[in-house]
Structure 1
């Protein structure tokens, strides 16, 4: 009876009972002294420190326990971990099942901040899917609610304001981004977190680049010196600034910043490095720097093969094929395109495979290879019919 009450979290276990369990099962006394809530809290802290290499199975296991014991504040924190992971890895099917459960946990919690965080994650989800106006609307609502709650000095308000500016920039609504950025400047006057301030100054610099302002260098310098030893964040800042420069025709400086970002990004976290390098590779190809990008692709391939990161490996093969195709070296383009397709078949969605068949069909058409062109267009047609 006593053990049943302990198991159902109705009473705290006494030491003499724990000593019997420790003796019989060979477990750690401190581990047993933690109740269910304490265990979940400890696990959340562990999961947050493990990113990006978290165990999804372990997180979901903790979600089940948090829901079972009605710890909805904890289940929401766990859903945030899952949400972030799924978004970063393009796991749309998993997101579609997570969102209703996350919403349900939020509805059962009376904490306004938990509700606000939910809407911020939904805004991020919408933005990732290209629904900029809806994402901006969600973030705007969040900011208004935080102001009503007198939370303008909260982490949530800072995050919401920053995200709203970023969303407007990415949606090419620079005028609105500039307007909201005035609130970011106010945040700089009281926020003590230097990394957050660095990110704010970076965004202010990007807005100046788009508007052709004369404070670009000032904001850049203020941002870069605040990253201090966060070398990965600093490299990412160089890259973000470079993308804004490319889009505004400042190509020489942009190229210098991209090269600096890719070369200075720390090589210690290989998976994160792979993801960063492949982003840089994509940008360099978009702006026609084919020769420069090949060395970085080789580094990505070596790392992705070593770590068995099939999606990144596939992208590296695909980008290499694109370079050779644009150089009219169709033999090499065909080789790497087929390697890319083999990798994509292991994890890609029907839509992704359909698009790849179409791309390969077009490549063979440009090569004058009619038979193979028809073959891949036919495969794409069959795939297209299976959507309905």
Structure 2
């Protein structure tokens, strides 16, 4: 996916084949002009390219393809799923070239993809570093839709940072703009509305979330993405449980129908309904739903399985299903070690510590908590580490180890000051 200007292609091929500038030019082109072409100072005419291609024995179409065309070709390849293993490096490489050649419209597309790549791998620090660059490319691209995409990206960033109010504001701005323009891109519009509603749900404002989300019911038939439609009905079902409005069963049925044979998605929906029930007067049904989701979730993709089960383990601990939480946690820990995923290993150790604590095995709880903290110190943010220090302080207090308890409370206090 290397990008070369026309001049660079000529120069590389010429040197590789052992030709001098004079050999290429003959009597038809001046050496000084060819030197300027190779150094990108002037653009060659078609007849010159045909002559050079003939003498060097290279494909004329390859030679004619300039930097912009190469960038467009690379962008299309990435959109079609190529280069997934080194996606971050590929996006950064193309972005640098697009900026260097001032192709700001293409540069914005690469930046948009790179920003979301960082969010996908939970690297919010890189998002923060690139926010100003992202905005600058959005402004220079001169495209109104890019402004909306930029707002969506920043909304997603704030959501990842648990800044739900800020995220909701960005999504709201996009929704208002699309509504004013009477947007007919229902897939895009529905995504914006869904994300805004989800922010209000995370802020525990279920009425507001429901009011926003029900606007999608009228346009649901115009949305092409079946999985996205399923997620809309899933969130409506969760909100109906919370609000006890009597509409849950209808939304539940529709969400399952749209899942079709997607077992992992259906399991996630069932689990989310169970979690929503925990804080309601139908909490007695919650464990049935959680248990059903455990049985349904496929194990063929270990990474997805571990990610899902980590949430399940936390819920099982909360509802005092300790034995079941222990069994799943052991399995998840083994998978996490096989995957070499520090984030999963850290969570597994942490949950093992909580389980041991519940079983009054304080010494084992201390051991797993320390193993978890060692990893968290490498991969966690300041708030996560501060909260863990507080937990460690409480744990040592329970163990009557005053000196260690004071040490961790002090670390938490000092960490809080830095935050």
1:126-152: CA deviation from partner (whole Å, max 9, x where unpaired): 233333333222222211111222214
The more displaced of 158-167 and 10-19 is: 10-19
Output the CA distance in 2 between the equivalents of 1:242 and 1:225.
18
Paired residue for 2:269, among 237, 256, 277? 237
Cross-structure match for 1:3:
7
Q: Does structure 2 conserve the Cα–Cα contact (< 8 Å) formed by 1:47 and 1:54?
A: no
Cross-structure match for 1:42:
76
- Within-5 A mapping of 1:127-276: 127-276=159-308
Q: Does structure 2 conserve the Cα–Cα contact (< 8 Å) formed by 1:363 and 1:373?
A: yes
Output the CA distance in 2 between the equivalents of 1:376 and 1:171.
30
Q: How high is the TM-score relative to the length of structure 1?
A: 0.86
Output the CA distance in 2 between the equivalents of 1:48 and 1:146.
32
CA-CA distance at 1:199 after TM superposition? 1.5
CA, structure 1 residues 364+113, in 2 after alignment: closer, same or farther (shift >3 Å)?
same
Output the CA distance in 2 between the equivalents of 1:352 and 1:12.
60
Give 1 or 2 for the bigger CA radius of gyration: 2
Cross-structure match for 1:344:
376
Q: How high is the TM-score relative to the length of structure 2?
A: 0.80
Q: Output the aligned Cα RMSD.
A: 3.2
Cross-structure match for 2:345:
313
Q: Does structure 1 conserve the Cα–Cα contact (< 8 Å) formed by 2:53 and 2:63?
A: no
CA, structure 1 residues 360+258, in 2 after alignment: closer, same or farther (shift >3 Å)?
same
Mark the runs of 5 or more structure 2 residues left unpaired by the alignment. Answer: 9-36
CA-CA distance at 1:45 after TM superposition? 1.7
Residues 1:104 and 2:150 aligned together = no
Cross-structure match for 2:13:
none
Output the CA distance in 1 between the equivalents of 2:55 and 2:189.
50
Runs of 4+ in 1 over 4 A off after TM superposition: 4-23, 29-34, 46-49, 378-385
- Within-5 A mapping of 1:40-79: 40-45=74-79, 50=84, 55-79=87-111
Q: Does structure 2 conserve the Cα–Cα contact (< 8 Å) formed by 1:6 and 1:12?
A: no
